[in-house]
Amino acid sequence: MGDDAAGPTTTESRTNRERGFALEDRLARREKRGLTRDLEPAASVEDRTRFASAPNGDEPEFDGEELVFAANNYLGLAHDDRVQSAAAQASIQVGTGAGASRLVTGDTGLHRSLERDLADAKDCERALTFSSGYAANVGTITALAPDVVFSDERNHASIVDGCRLADAETVVYDHADPDALRAAMEARADEAGSWLVVTDSVFSMDGTVAPLSDLCDVAEEYGAWVMVDEAHATGVYDGGIVGRDGLGDRVQVQLGTLSKALASQGGFVAGSADLVDYLVNHARSFIFSTGLAPPAVGAAQEALRIARSEERQRQLWRNVEHLRDGLTEAGYDVRGETHILPVVVGDRRDALALADAVRDRGVMVPAIRPPAVPEGTSRLRVAPTATHTAADVQECLAAFRIAGREVGVL
């Protein structure tokens, strides 16, 4: 065989072999399945809202018209003058950034003050802030390093990822089902090791509440710890669902967020002094992250004060009941039992069509589709705030009534 006919050398074969990630193909497959998403954030729940079609798109514009009923700013504090002022003052007094991890030079009196207030609000010995609720979940589960985690099937992705990173045996039990949890534990009753039950308190896509007292009963029967993520309950209920139900002495690990009702950024863990000391020494997402930005700390502390001292919660619940009653009377399937109102449509195409038709009438409520929710349960997740007026709520209801008839879901 001559040189011209020779096959590629080993080096050439290795060089030409495809080792990339074929992102275009992956996106095309996702689009074919109807799962393509773009970045279209609602940055405000007030009457001026930014929208950008993509991260590299044109500058977002203020349209001045759309009402957003989809944000997690439940108490409407993101645009409260006092919260904004507290953020500004923290920036002036401490700086725009912490400058380092808390264990180096990023620890400030402002951080400690917020953590004392959070511990008091949760009726715990101590609290510890993280850069996000996601970091709090991942850092806490991996630091505890349980042998077995029992996780509700609809827990947030940060809990799921925490279980994966902890490399624990993870047992997924039926949503909000203490009997399923008991059966799973009974099947492993002869196994030794540390067990952790993890659940959201308020489930963000379903508006359901975990039966925490019953879950604690099962956990105590088998000697397990209970960890509750209160992300969507923080600030909306006094002390969260754990506090509302008087379970503080039965839940060993409480998590919360600063980025929803408290209108800031970050997450926290509350519990015993030993728990916090342990996390300071073992939670990698705390140890190796820059401390929470001082403006976020200042804003969260002021928002927490307002949430605990004013009638924002009652204002929110009035809007929730008004919306729930109106949507139900219109003929929609409204599920859940909290301030999160899932309007379940079923088919993903119908949900997208309804979201578009509602938005055409000046109300922003994006469709939620699989895999974020189970197949056949696509929905619009309606989330009012305490600062929506009665007129805003009526406008939202009118948009849903007209849009529902237009797209054929009513």
260 belongs to the catalytic site? yes
**CA 387 – CA 68 distance, rounded (Å):** 11
| Number of other CB atoms surrounding residue 197 within 10 Å | 30
SS3 (DSSP) at 159: helix
Which residues 6+ apart lie within 8 Å of 277 measured at CB?
A: none
Long-range contacts (CB closer than 8 Å, 24 or more residues apart) made by 176-181: 176/152, 176/203, 176/208, 176/209, 176/210, 176/211, 178/211, 178/214, 178/215, 178/217, 178/218, 181/150, 181/215, 181/218, 181/219
Q: What are phi and psi of 406, to 5 degrees?
A: -65, -40
Which residues 6+ apart lie within 8 Å of 98 measured at CB?
A: 106, 107, 108, 111, 290, 291, 292, 293, 294
Candidates 132, 204, 285, 378; catalytic one = 204
| Number of other CB atoms surrounding residue 190 within 10 Å | 6
Please list the alpha-helical segments (H only) found in 49-132. Answer: 81-93, 109-121
**CA 233 – CA 240 distance, rounded (Å):** 5
**CA 129 – CA 111 distance, rounded (Å):** 8
> Interior CA angle at 295 toward 291 and 300, to 5°?
90
Candidates 111, 122, 156, 232; catalytic one = 232
Partners of 241 in the β-ladder: none
Q: Which amino acid is at 332?
A: Y
E strands present in 137-273: 148-152, 169-173, 195-200, 225-229, 253-257, 267-271
Candidates 122, 156, 260, 339; catalytic one = 260
Q: Which amino acid is at 132?
A: S
Please list the alpha-helical segments (H only) found in 108-176. Answer: 109-121, 133-144, 157-166
Tokens at residue 77, please? 């504090």
Cβ 280 vs Cβ 315: under 8 Å: no
Give whole-number Cα distances, 395 to 113, 168, 247, 327, 363, in Å. Answer: 41, 48, 39, 12, 8
Instruction: Please give the positions annotated as active site.
Output: 204, 232, 260
